[in-house]
Amino acid sequence: MRFKPKKSDFVFVGLVLAVIVFVTLLPSPKDNNPPVPNDLAHHGIKLEKDCLSCHVKGGEHPLRERHPKRQDCLRCHRVGI
């Protein structure tokens, strides 16, 4: 038996494409997080482990309690704006 696409098949494919396009256009979380400021303190810091010399409890600019406990800072914070 030959496959005859029904109207509902086209609707389904259309919906799937719409969802894919929608998800692709969603802003990446990185766009919403505060960027790394482009100032003297941050200029020239390339190693993520250096960030913690200031952004620790008791440091110059401690992170908030509910900040993610992760070391890959630059995965979420953009640099250089």
Query: CB–CB of 48/72 below 8 Å?
Result: yes
Q: Which stretch binds ligand HEC (CB under 6 A): 6-14, 18-26, 70-78?
A: 70-78
- Tell which one of 4, 28, 33, 44 touches ligand HEC (CB under 6 A): 33
Give the residue with the Cβ less far from ligand HEC, 19 or 52. 52
Tokens coding 9: 């098949």
**d(C-alpha 46, C-alpha 8), whole Å:** 53
**Which residues, at least 6 apart from 52, have a Cβ–Cβ distance to it below 8 Å?**
59, 71
**d(C-alpha 62, C-alpha 59), whole Å:** 6
Residue 53 as a binder of ligand HEC (CB under 6 A): the answer is: yes
Residue 65 as a binder of ligand HEC (CB under 6 A): the answer is: no
By the criterion CB under 6 A, which residues form the site for ligand HEC?
33-34, 36-37, 39, 41-42, 45, 48, 50-55, 60-61, 63-64, 66-68, 70-73, 75-77
